[in-house]
């Protein structure tokens, strides 16, 4: 299954290696930023929250700019400097000693990360045809989670709040891992160039984000993504954790094990899911994702019902919720970017991928803001009803998208091979 999921072009395989290496570094630091800023650097909880929120706001604001630059100059010229900026910013976290310096460093990191995801998706799309693209994006997601899991296990054995140098070490290691995909891209001089053919020297691509938003199928896909991620992904960091600890009354250690179960499910199931989804309707798969997410939240809601009387059953339900959610992610991760790039044109591919990545940024603001008040009302039952209902609405939106797509775009028939990125012309 792994051999079948690998892309045909060796350049794409090397890009996937870069994803794994950088994900290991991301996993080293991902769980510890809030703890580092508060327990090690002395920021208050409120200030640390503002710093992290500022990062998300800057990233979201700059993402459209990144998509425009990718279309105008090519993903290579955008991703390479962004990776270097991200490395500098991440390494500089080791030197943070005040609120002001934390804001400055997180601004640098946000500038770097604003175009990396959309740029790398554009590069992968240019190196694969539509027949293999769904498999490759799924494999990319599995490698991302595998790397984060490896990094998290490693840093968990290293960090110690009583020894600030241990946190400085993991941030410096994280910075080094961001250089790995940059070095790999530098060894591929023919990869990542501008996709659209210039008809006139220096002429900018026609259209823009208004053209992207006029694409009715993609607009429906964006609405689906916003609803699903607001009631799904965006609830993991705040809603899931708060409900599990405050309503189901499990310990933080159980939450940590639940997140580990999520990663294990993704790594083990992703290749199987990729194989089973080949030749099947992509919109049908997205509808199933909404139903799976809703099931996960129902299991978590049951944990809240039994939590006070049966701590073991509540803990098992919390872990089961996270694992079921991970299974839904294995279906969403290959289909969403594959469908985005099936709808995109080469001329506007960077903008399409940037708009798709912005879905997570927007929902990442809405989700945490709504989770707190909803969990505080009626012992969390209103929150459970909100997220379950939202996921089911997303399923209906996915089904309504099918009639707007061709069978090839929906993945129901083998799509004709698309023209891959051409080799650069000789000087």
Mean pLDDT, residues 291-315 taken together? 91
pLDDT of residue 414: 61
Going by pLDDT thresholds of 50, 70 and 90, the confidence category of residue 256 is: confident
Residues 190 and 226 in one domain: no
Residues 272 and 385 in one domain: yes
Mean pLDDT, residues 291-320 taken together? 92
* Residue range of the domain that includes 15: 6-194
pLDDT of residue 75: 93
Q: With a cut of 90, say whether residue 307 has pLDDT above it.
A: no
Cα gap 49→53, rounded to integer Å: 6
Please provide the average confidence, as pLDDT, over all residues in the chain: 87
- How far separated are the first and last CA of the chain, in Å rounded? 41
Residues 260 and 175 in one domain: no
Residues 234 and 146 in one domain: no
At 163 the three-state DSSP class reads coil
pLDDT digit string, tens, across residues 409-418: 998 876 554 4
pLDDT digit string, tens, across residues 334-375: 999 999 999 999 899 999 999 998 998 888 778 877 777 888
Going by pLDDT thresholds of 50, 70 and 90, the confidence category of residue 197 is: low
Residue 200 in domain: no
CATH classification of the domain holding 336:
1.20.1250.20
Burial 156-168 (b: 16+ CB within 10 A, else e): eeebeeeebebbb
Mean pLDDT, residues 148-157 taken together? 83
Mean pLDDT, residues 26-34 taken together? 81
- Residue that terminates a domain, selected from 165, 194, 223: 194
Q: Which of 160-164, 178-182, 343-347 has the lowest mean pLDDT?
A: 160-164
Mean pLDDT, residues 310-338 taken together? 93
Going by pLDDT thresholds of 50, 70 and 90, the confidence category of residue 196 is: low
Cα gap 193→202, rounded to integer Å: 15
Q: With a cut of 90, say whether residue 184 has pLDDT above it.
A: yes
Cα gap 225→237, rounded to integer Å: 18
Residues 359 and 225 in one domain: yes
Residues 262 and 347 in one domain: yes
Residues 273 and 366 in one domain: yes
**Among the listed residues 121, 142, 157, 108, the one whose alpha carbon sits nearest the alpha carbon of residue 360:** 121
Residues of the chain with pLDDT > 90, as a percent, come to 55
Residues 49 and 10 in one domain: yes
Residues 301 and 256 in one domain: yes
Count of beta carbons in the 10 Å neighbourhood of residue 112: 22
Residues 179 and 215 in one domain: no
- Residue that terminates a domain, selected from 141, 161, 194: 194
The count of structural domains within the chain is 2
pLDDT digit string, tens, across residues 64-82: 999 999 999 999 999 999 9
Count of beta carbons in the 10 Å neighbourhood of residue 298: 17
Mean pLDDT, residues 99-121 taken together? 93
- Residue that terminates a domain, selected from 194, 215, 237: 194
Q: With a cut of 70, say whether residue 28 has pLDDT above it.
A: yes
Please, are residues 363 and 226 in contact by the beta-carbon 8 Å criterion? yes
Mutual angle of helices 116-126 and 10-29, in 10-degree steps: 160
pLDDT of residue 298: 96
Going by pLDDT thresholds of 50, 70 and 90, the confidence category of residue 225 is: very high
Q: With a cut of 50, say whether residue 230 has pLDDT above it.
A: yes
């Amino acid at each position: 299954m792994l051999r079948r999921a690998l892309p045909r072009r060796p350049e794409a395989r090397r890009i996937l290696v870069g994803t794994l290496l950088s994900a290991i570094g991301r996993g080293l630091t991902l769980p510890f930023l809030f703890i580092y800023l508060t327990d090690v650097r002395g920021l208050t909880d409120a200030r640390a929250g503002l710093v992290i929120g500022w990062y998300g706001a800057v990233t979201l604001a700059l993402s459209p700019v990144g998509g425009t630059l990718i279309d105008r100059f090519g993903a290579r010229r955008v991703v390479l400097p962004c990776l270097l900026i991200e490395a500098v910013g991440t390494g500089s976290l080791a030197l943070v000693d005040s609120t002001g310096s934390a804001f400055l460093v997180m601004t640098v990191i946000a500038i770097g990360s604003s175009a990396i995801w959309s740029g790398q998706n554009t590069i992968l799309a240019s190196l694969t045809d539509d027949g293999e693209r769904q498999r490759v994006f799924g494999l990319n997601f599995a490698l991302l989670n595998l790397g984060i899991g490896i990094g998290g296990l490693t840093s968990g054995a290293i960090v110690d709040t009583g020894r600030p140098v241990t946190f400085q070490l993991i941030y410096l290691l994280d910075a080094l891992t961001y250089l790995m995909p940059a070095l790999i891209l530098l060894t591929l001089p023919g990869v990542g160039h501008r996709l659209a053919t210039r008809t006139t020297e220096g002429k900018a691509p026609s259209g823009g984000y208004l053209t992207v938003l006029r694409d009715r199928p993609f607009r429906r896909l964006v609405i689906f993504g916003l609803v699903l991620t607001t009631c799904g992904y965006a609830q993991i960091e705040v809603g899931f954790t708060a409900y599990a600890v405050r309503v189901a009354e499990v310990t933080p250690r159980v939450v940590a094990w639940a997140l580990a179960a999520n990663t294990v499910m993704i790594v083990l199931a992703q290749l199987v899911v990729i194989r089973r989804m080949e030749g099947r309707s992509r919109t049908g798969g997205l509808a199933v994702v909404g139903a799976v997410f809703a099931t996960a939240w129902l299991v978590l809601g049951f944990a809240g019902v039994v939590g006070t009387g049966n701590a073991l059953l509540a803990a098992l339900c919390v872990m089961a919720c996270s694992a079921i959610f991970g299974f839904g992610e294995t279906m969403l991760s290959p289909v969403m970017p594959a469908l985005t790039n099936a709808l995109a044109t080469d001329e506007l591919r960077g903008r399409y991928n940037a708009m798709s990545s912005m879905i997570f940024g927007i929902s990442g603001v809405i989700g945490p803001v709504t989770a707190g008040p909803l969990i505080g009302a009626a012992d969390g039952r209103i929150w459970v009803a909100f997220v379950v209902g939202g996921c089911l609405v997303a399923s209906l939106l996915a089904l309504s998208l099918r009639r707007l797509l061709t069978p090839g775009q929906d993945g129901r028939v083998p799509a004709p091979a698309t023209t891959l990125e051409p080799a650069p012309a000789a000087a």
